[in-house]
Every structure is written in C-alpha cells, then in structure tokens.
Structure 1
Amino acid sequence: MRPLAVPTPRPRGEWDAWGSEPARLPTAAKAIVATLLPGKAHPVARRTAPVLTPSLLPDGDLAALAGVVGADAATRDDAVRMMHLGGKSTPDLLRRRLDDLQAAPDAVVSPADHSEVAAVLRVCGERGIAVVPFGGGTSVVGGVDPVRGAQRAVIALDLSRTAALLALDEVALLATFGAGTTGPQAEELLGTRGYTLGHFPQSFLYASLGGYAATRSSGQASRGYGRFDDLVHALRVATPAGDLDLGRSPASAAGPDLRELFLGSEGAFGVLTEVTVRIRPVPAATAYRAWSFPDFAAGASAFREATQRGIRPTVLRLSDETETRVNAAMGGHLTRMRGCLAVATFEGATSAEAEATRDALDAVFRAHGATSRGEDPARSWERGRFASPALRDTLMDIGVLAETLETATTWANLPALKAAVTAALTASLAAAGTKPLVLCHISHVYPAGASLYFTVVAALTDDPETQWMRAKDAASRAIGDAHGTITHHHAVGRDHRPYLEAEIGPLGVQVLRAVKNVLDPRGIMNPGALVEPAASATERP
C-alpha cells in the first residue's frame, strides 16, 4: 500500500536512558531524596560506551536478510545493535550501567512494509533465526529482550521504516498506519488534517502504534478516548504461518474476534504490520479542574459514582495521600495541599460542551466532600505528564531507585488490593534496609472498577537489581493473592510471565501455547515473551 503521507523521523532515547536529555531534579525532590538515603549511598554511574556480545549471525544469513530489505537496512553494526538492547524498565537501565557485557541482538533488520516483514519471517524460519519485533523500545516488562531461545541467532526487527499514514477514511473516521509509526508521528499526520487519535500513554514520546496494540496500552486520556484496544478497528499481521487481515466491519458475529489474539500478543505470534484505528476531530475546546478529597476512599467513591453515571471527562486521575504530598512538594506547594488530589480535563466541540461535563463531575465530587482547587494543578499535571520516566535516570545517578508497577480490580476490592501491594513493597524494601516511599494513583476507570498505579522510591543497595526484583516479586504475589490483574497496561513480557498462569489458569496458558504452535511452529517469534518457550529452548543470558 502506497503511503498517503510519511512523518518526520524522530530520534530514539539513549541506549542507557529513557530519553535523549537528562531530567532536572527539582530542589524539593532533592530534599525528599535526602530522607530516603541511608548513611552510605550507592549511586550507579552511566557508562561511556557499551561492550556488546559478539554477533552470531553468519554472513550468509545477513546477506539473505539484506536481499529482502536492502543492504542498508540489515546490519551487525554495534552502533545500531546497542540501540536495540531491550526495553526501558529500571532493571533494564541498571543492567546497562552495571553489566560489563551487554546482551545485544545479532543483527538489526528494518523492513519497509508488510511484504518485507513477511519475507523476513520466511528467511528467519528457514534459517533458525529468532525475531524480536521492535517499535519504540519502551517495554518495562522484558518484552523486547534479544532472546535467541532455541534458535541459532536473534534479530531485532526494527519497524521504524514502516512509519506512515497508509489510508484515511474521513467518512468512517478510520486511519491506517504502518505499525512503526510513533505516537507523536501519528498525531502529526492526523493533526494536519484536523484529527487526533487521542492516545497518550506515558511512553507517548517514543512508543509505536504497533507496540500500543501488541501490549494493550492504555493512555492517560482513556476515560475520554478508551484504551488502545478500544481504538483498534483492523489489524494486518504477518506470521511465520502466513498473513492475516483482521477487522472488516464495525461489528461482526463471524465467530470469535481474531483481533483479540493479537492485541496483547507482544510479538509472540507474529508481527503487527498495519493498524487501522478510530480517530476523532481535534476538539475545539478544553477545560481543566482539580479537587482535593479528604482521603483516598472518598475520592475513589466519587470516581466510581461519576463513572457509573456515565460522566466522561477526557482525563480523570486521583492521587493518594502520599503521592499528593510528594507532588505538592515537587511543585513547591508543601503546605498548601492536604488529602488526595484529583485532576481532570474535559474536551468538547464547544466550550459549553466541555464545561457541562466539568460541572456534572464537579457536582458529584462535591457531594463526596471534594473541594475545588481550580485549574492550575490540572494544567501543571498536563505540562509535565511525559517527564516522569526520565527522572529515574537522574535518580540512579545519586543512588535512588524509582520504579512503577500497575494492576486493576473491582471497586469493592480496590482498598484491599492497594493495601496489600503497598505492604508487600514496603516490607520487602525495608528488609533490604531501604524503607521506601510508595505512591499510588487511579488513572483508568470503568463502571466495574479501576486501575492502581504504584510508584516506588527507595535508596539503592549495592545489589540494586536483586533489591528490586525481590520487591517486584513480593508485589506481584500480593496482586495475585488479592485478586488483582498482574498487569492492566504494561503487558506480560518475560517479567510477568511467571504470574500469568495464576490469573488465566493452566488451560488458558495451554490455549496460548496452542495458538503459538499454529502461527509460529518453529518458535522464532520473540522467544519467552508472553508464553514459556518450548522445553528444548534455552534463553540467552
């Protein structure tokens, strides 16, 4: 399919950091950090350059791949390989700083379109080469690690050359993109035509639309626009067993919806090459409002009532007491904020439409004891909403761990789940001598329940990877015991795979393996992600 438009190329983040520029640590944050650090800090310095594992891809295999995508788009060059070492979780970034030898893909291959992706999969299947689809590289659950599994070599399949607007249906309000199109590129291509996708996850600056679909992403405006899986109309998929075009009509009863096999599949079954999404006209008006609730329970109760009554702000977010205090201090408002802060944004075709939704929400919130804080906190949140991940890099420089995890449950179970996860994280990190701050917020709501998003801040030990993995394991087990989901929007990857069976059952895991066996009979697709590799497979260290 010939593109309608091609976006402006965008740089990736650094190989060992979230973004391309270091984040500035506010003065107030330094004071908070000082209370966490024990007598001896363990800063983790960045390396000047990585040493990569040598490529195991033979010349003949590289030549075969170059014959598909062109010599310039298939390379074993270390400068390219180091930009595809995996994702950007805190453990990923710690390994980039601490490990003397960095596990790298044996080559990076960059197809331009669906036909080239399909041809690459044929070559890799014939030659025993594992394929890790690579969009923005923002996975925080080990979803894009360069794992060979049982194959002779592994390539990172970089989809950035597929970035394009391929089709636009302005009657049905549908747009088709190449899967490697990033969030900003999609908004650029749509915005010039008066439309928006409205999907703004915290990874927005780097993540791709194919990645959104493959991980069931949920953006910060999910209350207004829906999760990304709500926005997907159609998918085009290349698998080792053949191609699939899924999603013909706005609704169908033609058997189970096969799109659901690939939404959340994380490249384990095949490669999403084209994504058709539902779009909307750019809103003409936006309103803002913030409130403080006396406590988290009152705020959650208000969120539940507003959601079940069908009130739809664009963004709806509730911070718990700890997150409210920390954010207030970071903004220089240490004594001005009490209780729990809620922020919301409202969009409409007119100012009156946006304000009507705001006023309806305000009435519900006031009935639950909320006090209006005006517009400023909501506007301030919006200005800085993509900045937090980069702060982890700056905090590691001074010996501080900062990481996130998330879950979701029903409204009635929300307090118990929040308490269980907070207790598990606190106990694990305190046992390591690094009592943490555990922050939490609600940012995705449904009539039946809501998500919980935790941010954990603690001093780093001299073995920070073990420190965090023990805490994450404790939290993950607490989530399962308290009947939460192991992931609301970060996906399964390799990090959450050990906990998946407890949620979907042994038969559920068998179903996923059966699908993989049909679509990927030789096991080349992203070995170890989502489902456990075959017994004969050995994961690359």
Structure 2
Amino acid sequence: MTESDLPVVQLTPGRWGDPTHPVALPAAAIDALKHLGVKRPQTPPGAAGPDSAGRGSAGPDSGGARIGNEPRGAEDLHRLTDGQLSFLASVVGAEHVASDLSSRWAHTRGYSTTDLLRFRAGDASGMPDAVVYPASHDEVAALLAGCAEHELALVPYSGGTSVVGGLAPSRRFVTVDLRRLDQLVELDEISRTATLQAGVRGPAAEALLAEHGYTLGHFPQSYEGASIGGYAAARSSGQSSAGYGRFDQMVVGLTLATPRGTVELGRAPMSAAGPDLRQLVLGSEGAFGIITSVRVRIRPRPAERHFEGWRFENFDAGLTAVRRLAQDGPLPTVLRLSDEVETAVNLADPDVLGGGSGGVLAIIGFDGPYNRATADVLTAAGGTNLGEGPGETWRTGRYRAPYLRDPLLDEGALVETLETAAFWSRIPALKAAVTEAIVGALSATPPLVLCHISHVYETGASLYFTVICAQADDPIAQWRSAKSAANQAIATVGGTISHHHGVGTDHRDAYVTEIGPLAVEALQAVKTTLDPNHVLNPGILLPEP
C-alpha cells in the first residue's frame, strides 16, 4: 500500500485518528518516558475509553465517538440571534446550519498540543457560535457578502488540522466547513492540471486523480485529514517535496471568495503581467478570503517506488551529503535526514543502522526507477547504504507519529513540534541555537529534542524539531515558554518562523517582527481592500487594526 491508497480518516475532535483503533505505546517507550521523569496521571483528562474523563456528546461530526470532556460553562456561551441564523439558513439551507453544542465543540480549535490540552480540559473559549456547510462557491460568496451586515465573523474550516492556532480568531465567529466542496471539477490531461474544490481531503484527491492515472504527489504528515484548501491557505509541504515541490509550487490557479466579490487567478502557468497574485493568496490563511477551488499540476502515477536508508557518521556529514544532492543533483523524490537523537529514538534495533552505535539515518525515495547516480553522491559523501529495510520501515510508519501523541499525553508527557528554515550556511547554527533554547527553557523537566531535515532547496533547507518531556503543572504555559525561547533563537540566527505550518495566532507576533512594519501595513491594506470590515479570520496571520 502507498500513500495514494490510504483512506480519508474521520478525525475525532481532541484526538488524532479513529478512536476505535487506538495506538498503544510500546513498553520500551513507556520505560524511556520514566527516565524523563514522566508520570502517568491517575485519570488522563479526555482520554478515550469507557473509564475516561472524556464524556463529550457525540454529534454529527464526531462519527458517534467520544469527543473529549464536555465544554465547561457551555450554558453561558453566546448563541446567534434568530436573524443571524435565518440569514445563514437562507444561504445554505437550514439543514446545513448547525448550532448544537456537539457540532460547535467538534469544530473547536485544531490539533496542536495546546489545542488538545485545552480540549481535554473542556476549555470552550475557542468554540464557534455555529457551523455552516456550503456546497458551492456561490454559497460561500453569499455568506461572505452578508456577514458584515449580520455582524458575523467567519472562519474557513477544511480538514481542521492547523497546529498554529489557525482556527482561534480573536472574536466570536461562525465556522464555514467546506467538506461539501469535494469534487474534481476539471481534468486537463493535455496540460496535466486538475481543478479540485477546497474541501477535498488528501486521500480523496489522490483517489479522484488515480481513476485517471495521475497523482498530485503531496503527502504531508496531516495527509489523512488535511484538505486541498488547507494545503493552499497554509503553503503546505509534504514528504515528497524534493521531487514534486511544495504545494504552492504545484498551484497554477485558484478561486477566492471575498466579502467584496470573487477573485479568479491563474490564466496561464506563468505570466509577466504584474505581480503574481496567486502567491499573495497562497499562505493567506483565510484572512483575505476563502479559497473554494485550486488548479494544480498533476503527474502520472509512478509504476514503481523505492525507499532505502543510509547511515552517516554524524549529522554534519549527512548534512553535507544532502546539500550536495540539493545543489548538484540528482535529487530523489524523498530526501530526509534525522539527527543523532531522532535516529536513536526512532530505531528500536541498532542493527538497522548496520551495527554499532551512533550515526544518523537518511532516507531517500524514488517515484519511478531507482537512480544509482543519487546513491553514488551519498557514497562519495561517506554514506553507507542500509538497503530497503529502513526505508520501507520509515515509509510504512510515516503516518503513525501523530497517533502516538495522544497516548504520550495520556502518560503525562508533553510532546510538540516546531519547524523553521534557513539558508544552508545558517543551518548548523540554527539547529544548535534552537536546541539550546528549548533545553534551557525546559530545564525543570529536561527534554529530548529530536531534529530532522525533510525539505531541501538549492539555497537552504527546513529543520523540524520534536520535543518530549514530562508535563509540568501547567503544560500550556510550559510549552509557551519553550516555544518563545525557540522563536527568539530562530530570529537571532536568521531563520523563518515557519516553513510549512503557517502563522495562525501562535506565530503572528513573530511574523510581524520578521517582515517588518511596512510589509505588515501593506498586507493590512490588502486585507482592508478585500475584507473591509475585517470579518474573515480576525486576528489570524495579522493583528487586528
């Protein structure tokens, strides 16, 4: 089975994946957590299971599953007026407006660790006043056209997999769930493009394209739940970016609904007719409008695929090898390098690394024939070919990591990720500075800090960190402290605040600092033009004026 064959997963609010198929931590992992001082709470808040504290009611969006603790103080939460509900119903139909507690609770926040902790605690502060389910671009446009008159702020919701506070606006709001926009609108086999609606989930997009022999080739770790609209709005990047590019590099056109009308972009693959406004919309995170469809480049499905592992003595040696491939080629489809800590944590059997201790693991993958010239570059850089075993192990376990976070939280561990990117010359200093900042901020609960590179360019690469430690009394404040320290380290060394997770609210202040006041003013002017009443995702991406 490949990524193209995976089904769409019905994500359960407050937990990643299908609660009827829970993932258990290996005994070795639980023992390792004890060495970090992790202690299992007597009753994990919101944990799944008949004896858990999670007794949320099962609404239409929860698939009949528990969705965590009941929201605290729900009876005091604001509800829409009859006039507001009538307006929403007049656009999408009364049967597609949900104001019940279960539906609203199921659309509360995303899937960052702090989101999950708040959900487990029953924190309803980020709950929408209602959820609407439009079925077309025209219905989305009509919602946006009337939202200011009816004093409604709107937040687009596709897969709901944001990990940076992208679903937590600064004031009351209505969620616009795009799941009914789920069609392959057009397939241009001569140009090799496909137009997909924003609500199409990743596996569903692959299935639609596979019927015609094509693939999009975009496989982020959130692939099972994320959607086409979210890919575009957050500038997503997937595991095959070395071969297929980031999602924003795949986009050749899009349709944007705004409170002032519709914007259609992408008449040709490239143009010198002024600035490329497609790039202005990509990454705008619903602040300028709601993307309703995207035209993307597609490629024929590969007839064969190959994955293999390579061992290097240390991260610096592996980094040199990866950079040579990125700059001089030939690039594989997948190129990934884990540091010493991540390699040790992820490989239960040291023999997988070819025997002995130490070293780092690189993964390469090819969609299509194996390219021996790539292997020659890695060998010349000091790499040892470990064969297909480690590569296939990584590929088949690739989407398991998000499922492990819930049992880790149940055990009392704090686990979270962050990512950045920089030019090659800054990568070693950036990795060291971020690691040092996190370790320093979490000195009271000494952490494991794992790091890998999985997205490379001729001029630089991304760094992706995973942090695991014991939870403090206030784990949300604990992580905020660590993230703040990491953000400062990123800014000091000269990295970007995000390579592919986006800005949301978590990175908003750092983003403002990164681009400077004049650039912020320019973006605010764009928002004011398209959204004069600032009703779209208020406080997301940019501060409210």
TM-score range, shorter chain: over 0.9
Q: Distance in 2 between matches of 1:361 and 1:29?
A: 35
TM-score where L is the length of structure 2: 0.91
Q: State the alpha-carbon separation in 2 of the partners of residues 386 and 442 from structure 1.
A: 17
1:461-472 to structure 2, matched below 5 A, reads: 461-472=472-483
Q: Aligned equivalents of 2:42 and 2:483: distance in 1?
A: 20
State the match for 1:481 in structure 2: 492
RMSD: 1.9
Show the counterpart of 2:538.
Answer: 527
Residue 45 of structure 1 deviates from its aligned partner by 1.9
- 1:500-534 CA-partner distances (Å, limit 9, x unpaired): 12211111111111111111100100000000012
Q: Is 1:178 the counterpart of 2:191 in the alignment?
A: no
Looking at structure 2, the residues matched to 293 and 133 of structure 1 have their Cα atoms a distance apart, in angstroms, of 44
What secondary structure does 1:162 align onto? coil
Q: 1:196 aligns with which of 211, 215, 219?
A: 215
Moved more, 275-284 or 41-50: 41-50
Instruction: Please give the per-residue CA displacement for 1:426-453, whole angstroms capped at 9, x wherever unaligned.
Output: 00011xx200000000000000011000
CA distance in 2, matches of 1:324, 1:307: 22
Report the CA distance shift for 1:171/1:261 in structure 2 as closer, same or farther (over 3 A).
same
Answering whether residue 110 of structure 2 is matched by residue 91 of structure 1, we say no
Whole-Å separation in 1 of the counterparts to 2:91 and 2:351: 56
Displacement of 1:212 in angstroms is 0.3
**Are 1:307 and 2:314 counterparts?**
no
Write the mapping of 1:393-404 to structure 2, written as runs, cut at 5 A: 393-404=406-417
Aligned-residue identity in percent: 52
Identify if the C-alpha distance between structure 1 residues 43 and 435 changes in structure 2 by more than 3 Å, giving closer, same or farther: farther
Question: Runs of 5+ in structure 1 lacking a partner?
Answer: 1-7, 349-353, 535-541
User: C-alpha distance in 2, partners of 1:101/1:129?
Assistant: 19
Separation in 2 of the partners of 1:336 and 1:125? Answer: 65
Residue 131 of structure 1 pairs with residue 154 of structure 2 = yes
Q: Deviations over 1:234-279 (max 9, x none)?
A: 0000001211000010111110011111100000010000111100
Give the TM-score of the pair, scaled to structure 1: 0.92
Instruction: Please tell me whether the aligned partners of residues 42 and 398 of structure 1 are also in contact (alpha carbons under 8 angstroms).
Output: no
Matched residues, number: 515
Contact 1:45 1:396 in 2 (8 A): no
CA distances 1:398-425 after superposition (whole Å, capped 9, x unpaired):
1001100000111111000000000000
Partners of 2:419 and 2:499 within 8 A in 1: yes
Structure 1 match to 2:141: 118
Match of 1:510 in 2: 521
Identify the residue that residue 538 of structure 1 maps to in structure 2.
Answer: none
Separation in structure 2 between the aligned mates of residue 206 and residue 189 of structure 1, nearest angstrom: 16
3-state secondary structure, aligned to 1:127: coil
Residues 1:211 and 2:230 are matched in the alignment: yes
Secondary structure class of the residue paired with 2:408: helix
52-61 or 507-516: which moved more?
A: 52-61
CA contact (8 A) 1:12 1:136 kept: no
Evaluate the alpha carbon distance shift between residue 331 and residue 157 of structure 1 in structure 2; reply closer, same or farther with a 3 A threshold.
farther
Q: Residue 18 of structure 2 corresponds to which residue in structure 1?
A: 20
* Contact 2:9-2:17 within 8 A present in 1 as well: no
Q: Is the 8 A contact 1:236 1:275 kept in 2?
A: yes
Letter aligned with residue 529 of structure 2: V
1:78 maps to a residue whose letter is L
> Over residues 158-194 of structure 1, what are the superposed CA-to-partner deviations in whole Å (9 max), with x where a residue is unaligned?
0000011000001001100110111011001011111
- Relative to structure 1, the CA distance from residue 448 to residue 100 in structure 2 (aligned partners, 3 Å threshold; closer, same or farther) is closer
Counterpart of 1:402, as a letter, is V
Cα gap change, 1:332 to 1:525, in 2 (>3 Å): farther
Match of 2:242 among 223, 228, 231: 223
CA 157–101 in structure 1, closer or farther in 2 if over 3 Å, else same: closer
Match of 1:351 in 2: none
* Pair 1:70 & 2:77 matched: no
Residues 85, 146 of structure 1: 8 Å contact kept: no
**Equivalent of 1:80 in 103, 121, 125:** 103
Counterpart-to-counterpart distance in 1, 2:349 and 2:481: 28
1:27-42 pair list within 5 angstroms: 27-37=27-37
Distance 1:86 1:522 in 2: 23
1:43 CA drift (Å): 6.9
Name which of structure 1's ranges 160-169 and 329-338 shifts more when overlaid on structure 2: 329-338
* Cα deviation, residue 40, structure 1: 8.1
Counterpart secondary structure, 1:481 = helix
**Which stretch shows the higher mean deviation, 9-18 or 271-280?**
9-18
| Post-superposition offset of 1:100 | 5.0
Q: Cα distance, 1:68 vs. partner? A: 0.7
How many angstroms apart in 1 are the aligned matches of 2:361 and 2:184?
39
